[in-house]
Structure formats: structure tokens, C-alpha cells
Amino acid sequence: MKQTILITGGAGFIGSALCKSLLLADNIVICLDNFDNYYSPKIKHKNLTKHLNNEQFHLEEGDIRDKIFLNKIFSNYSINSVVHLAGKGGVRNSIENISEYFDVNVTGTITLLEVMRKFNVTNFIFASSSSVYGERNKLLSETDCSNKQISPYATTKKTIELVNYNYHINHRFNIVNLRLFSVYGNNQRPDLFISKVFNAIYNNSEIEIYGDGLQTRDFTHISDVLIAIQNSIKLCMVKTNVYETINIGSNNPISVNNLLEVIEKEIDSVIKRKYISKQIGDVQSTFADISKAKNILHYSPSKSIQQGINEYHNWHKNNKK
């Protein structure tokens, strides 16, 4: 069944990949993005180039805090579901810009939810983050305590989850909060670690590593994330009274040092490393318990880190920034 889906932050890494995936599934896609300068607007526009001639793709440029703009979008389209990817990203940057992060991420989300309520659009998939768990250093389950975030970015994500529950209880929204773990893959943001490593390799420069490199991350391939989002949309369309918070990870963490070894094997070369002080706001480890995702979303990670790095390497060779 063809649906009309609004994707906020639709020009970014995950958003543009989701646009492509949903269009291939014959949906109508409204891509909303403000094309801010967190990273190159030129890159984000390029992400969407192939869709611009598709009559089922609609690009809307504006800010989620702009209620007039949002009202216009919801008036012009018969939207079935919203996938909310927009917001300020980055743990370290949030520490120096806390007011901006709360304004964009929290106030912006509330503005969006209020306009959805006005137009009776009640299916909402939210891209939360593994950072909501704080410093736990264990297998992370959705039932674990998550009230000790160590960055403003993480706190905004947790706050939005709580706000979402208000809309579920008080206004009967179907909500799926997806706690995403270290998403990577082709076309990922240039500020993300794997992008930085490959750019350093091809510029013959050092890659800076915060701390000792023993910190671990549960890297999750973009293709698996897209399946989780699409299955979340389907869940909200076929069921009522949905409120779920679900980890989306690989369930197979790897240390930064070991990841660099995987990349070195892939490129058959030694990576120049420079170890510097650990940054505040960074957790030591992430490790997703994905049993709930398997049960509710029929989610099963399909791509190993070795396969993902090989795919990214091939993409990067043809798309060097």
C-alpha cells in the first residue's frame, strides 16, 4: 500500500538513504531539511539529486521550529507517517552549545508534534540514540536505567522520548523510539569516525584518536537501520496504541583500535595514528541488546563490520570529499 511519509532531516546521511529506500518501495516521500551548515549543504543537496525528477519525491526546505512552515506542509500533503531524523547532532559540539541543542532538538520536536496533532497525523518514528544510556559499560537493554546522560545531545534525545510518551498517552500517537547505535555506511557524514579515517588515509595524514583506542562501539550498518525504520512504519500502520523504545545495533561491538586494524587490512596499509586526550561527553562503550528489535521489528543485522568497511572503501574511492 502506497503511503505518504514525511522525513525530517531527509537530506542527511540516514535521511537521504531512507528517501531512496522508500521511493523504491513506491511510497510518496516528503523530504524536509533546513540545509544548515553543520556539514556542507552542498553535500546534502547532492544526496538528493537523483530523486529530484521523481514525481513521488517532494523537497521542502525549512526549519522544524517554524510552525507556519510546518502547517503549510501538512496542509499540502496527506501525510500518513513521520520519520523524525532532524536535529543537531554530535556529542562534543553539544557541550558548548547546549541552548541551541535544546532549542532545535526539543522545541523543534514539540513544534512538529503539535502540528501533527492539529492535522491528526499520529504515526511517529523517532531517531533516538544509544547515548541516552550514559556510561554503562555493559550489554544495554531498553529496560536499563537511562537517566544519567553525560552530554546535552544525549539529554535532548532522552527528553524527546519522554515528550513522545506524553503524546502517546494524551493524544493516542503511535510512537517508535529507535535508539540507534553508531550508524555507518556509504555517504555517511564527514565528521563521523570512519569517514575521518578514510579521509586521513587518502590525504596521507594522521587520524586523531581520543583516549587509548580501547573504547568500543556497536557499529550498525545503514542498510540494517533502513530496514528497522521501514518495519517501524509498518508497525504503526497496522497496529494501534503503539509505544515502543527499541535498540537498533549490531550486537557486536568492536574497539576503535580493532576497527583500525580491520581498515588497515582492507586498504593493505598502515594508518598513521595520533592518540590524544579523551573528550568529555564520550562514553567508553556501547553494546546493544537487540532481542526486542528481533521480536517486534523482525530485525536481524545482515552486514558484518568487515563487509561494511569493504563496501564503504569502494564507495569512498569513487566519492572522495
Task: State the pLDDT at residue 215.
Answer: 96
Catalytic residue among 153, 184, 299, 312: 153
Could you tell me if residue 240 is inside a domain?
A: yes
The boundaries of the domain holding residue 172 are 4-186+220-251+285-301
Q: How confident is the model at residue 40 (pLDDT cuts 50, 70, 90)?
A: confident
Better-predicted residue by pLDDT, 155 or 36: 155
273 falls within a domain: no
Joined together, the cell numbers standing for residue 139 give 550489554
Q: What's the confidence (pLDDT) of residue 114? A: 98
162: exposed, middle or buried (Cβ count in 10 Å: 0-12, 13-18, 19+): exposed
The maximal CA–CA distance of the chain, rounded, in angstroms, is: 57
Give the mean model confidence (pLDDT) for residues 26-54.
92
CB atoms within 10 A of CB 47: 21
Instruction: Give domain status of residue 318, yes or no.
Output: no
pLDDT at 64 exceeding the cut of 70? yes
Q: What rounded mean pLDDT belongs to the chain? A: 95
Work out how many domains the chain is built from and give that number.
1
The C-alpha atoms of residue 113 and residue 162 are separated, in whole angstroms, by 13
CATH number of the domain that 240 lies in?
3.40.50.720
Whether the CB-CB separation of 84 and 124 falls below 8 Å is answered with yes
Distance CA 149, CA 299 (A): 26
Please tell me the predicted confidence (pLDDT) of residue 297: 98
Residue 19 lies in a domain: yes
Region 144-158: what's the mean pLDDT? 96
**Stretch 180-191: mean pLDDT:** 95
Whether residue 308 is contained in a domain is answered as: no
Q: Is 210 a catalytic residue?
A: no
Point out which residues pair with 82 in neighbouring strands: 6, 124
pLDDT-derived band of residue 37, with 50, 70 and 90 as boundaries?
A: confident
Domain assignment present for 314: no
Question: What was the pLDDT predicted at 287?
Answer: 97
Mean pLDDT calculated for residue range 301-314: 96
**In the beta sheet, which residues pair with residue 307?**
none
Assess whether pLDDT exceeds 90 at residue 147: yes
pLDDT for 78 beyond 70 = yes
Q: Judge whether residue 321 has pLDDT over 60.
A: no
Look at residue 119 in the predicted model and tell me its pLDDT. Answer: 98
Burial of 211 (0-12, 13-18, 19+ CB in 10 A): middle
pLDDT tens, 200-221?
998 999 999 999 999 999 999 9
**Structural domain includes residue 215:** no
Task: Identify whether 92 is part of a domain.
Answer: yes
